[in-house]
Structure 1
């Protein structure tokens, strides 16, 4: 070997060593999750998650994906969020977590593109729609691929997909007597994770999954024993699916929030959290001036109720819940 070739070889040694280290890096290790650097949140779910948009289905969604701009393109990111238009009488958990309360999603620190639809079930091939116009979870995923993905720029390193679904499924089936609920809910939850698999294939590598809250304690829960059994069964299966999803996707950050357990903590010690009524709600909760004129309706202040109506929690409960979720995301406390 000539002196010139020897010199070139020696110069290459450090680069070869670095390359060796790069190749030795464990395959599938996710990028360290940093909530402060997160820029985009895609949300899927039902009324507990939906936010009203100017181009949405009134009282049900942020966007119908039916409005066209002057060029004939579906309007997506230019759809403003309407302030306090949720199922909570004020901001809901996903707005509190993202800090995206009104206006264009792109103007928020964590841009919130919310595909959730109030009244959504999971899969119309397995359960009838809650309303005949409901946009179910499976269809929400389809909408994301058809309308949102082509328009909204996102990267694996700065994007979170939030999934909060199942409330209508456990409630609508609570009076069924001719079904094996473990098998039935397993099939429904399988559809949820088919959707998450599709999102993963599209480059999303951070996921937040929430279980069903204690709707069996809601004022309008009806057959509570059957509903309580449904909620417990569904949540148990969902937790198992989430753990399996995390184990099978070591390139991803997977978060699981036990909504049920946390809200039960509040219900069991309500006064500590400032709630004076945890069993009913103000009959005039839907009055336009309820938040400022509640006394005229013979009601407590809205922030003193746990339940906003027969099945939904108030915005102060959402805020408490969001605080716990934000803390989990900030800590990077994955499954």
Structure 2
């Protein structure tokens, strides 16, 4: 069971911002890996009324067969004009100095925030502490890259680096943050096919990392005094879909299809559009009344 500090677990009940409410242009700065990516280039066109994800055109280019969860947030679940700046890249880890990504040139969370700082922070118009939300979804590649090598990921250092990037965003003026937890990978076909000992190793790492990130996010929030922060449990989406796959257009809980619709999974590791939609809905619920 994931341990989430009480003040974070209940934060979604009191997130409404009177200054923002349901109106006005909102801005989402999102960081992550292939579960989040939409093909955005920080040096390309920025979001606009004609294209709220900036580049490429919706639904973007990703690993689900359709729109990833942040794209669905700004195109389907928005309550007013919402711009997405999505720095996520497939294969990304929290910090390449701690865990090397599966390929060359893949920007880590640290490097994605640097891209934001250099290419978007001053170029994006109209964002401020009231109308801007930053979110991050990391840890899958870190844990699995080490698992495949028979090693354990440096979870405490990863969690420190993770929340350290929120410090950088805070220093630039961001005040609203969320974390999406590493999902229960034992439900993902690639890991479900491992032996019991392997699945347990992966799940132990996931529980520890998620708990440490939640604890450090709470400490970050308390140390600042003017931060709103919430943990979004990705397990809710995956467990919901896997528990009733036919309700989401799939014949069973483990089949894969690159169309992203006729199975829960795009491939053996990545969810299709139904689970992506559930991710998006859970983020929107957490910020209902303020950003969605």
Q: TM-score range by the shorter chain?
A: 0.7 to 0.9
TM-score by length of 2: 0.80
Deviation at 1:229, TM superposition (A): 2.0
Tell me the distance in 2 between the aligned counterparts of 1:30 and 1:319: 23
Deviation at 1:175, TM superposition (A): 4.0
RMSD of Structure 2 on Structure 1 (CA): 2.7
Establish whether residue 306 from structure 1 lines up as the match of residue 281 from structure 2.
Answer: no
- For residues 265-289 of structure 1, the C-alpha deviation after alignment (integer angstroms, 9 at most, x for no partner) is 332233444432211313xx2xxxx
- For residues 94-116 of structure 1, the C-alpha deviation after alignment (integer angstroms, 9 at most, x for no partner) is 01112189xxxxxx811111111
Deviation at 1:34, TM superposition (A): 4.3
Deviation at 1:220, TM superposition (A): 1.8
> Unaligned regions of 5+ residues in structure 1, if any?
1-28, 53-61, 68-74, 102-107, 286-290, 292-301
Change (3 A) 1:100 1:30: closer
Map 1:1-335; keep pairs closer than 5 Å.
32=18, 34=20, 36-37=22-23, 39-52=26-39, 62-63=40-41, 65=43, 76=46, 79-84=54-59, 85-99=61-75, 109-153=81-125, 154-177=127-150, 179=152, 184-221=154-191, 222=194, 223-282=198-257, 285=258, 291=259, 302-331=260-289
Tell me the distance in 2 between the aligned counterparts of 1:82 and 1:191: 32
TM-score by length of 1: 0.71
Paired positions, count: 262
Q: Which residue of 2 aligns with 1:288?
A: none
Q: Which has the higher contact order (CA 8 A, sep 6+)?
A: 2
Deviation at 1:216, TM superposition (A): 2.7
Tell me the distance in 2 between the aligned counterparts of 1:94 and 1:175: 29
Deviation at 1:127, TM superposition (A): 1.4
Tell me the distance in 2 between the aligned counterparts of 1:209 and 1:144: 18
Question: Over alpha carbons, which structure has the higher Rg?
Answer: 1
| 1:195 match: secondary structure | helix
| 1:40 match: secondary structure | strand
Q: Which residue of 1 aligns with 2:5?
A: none
| 2:130 match: secondary structure | helix
> Unaligned regions of 5+ residues in structure 2, if any?
1-14, 49-53
| 1:157 match: secondary structure | coil
Change (3 A) 1:77 1:99: closer
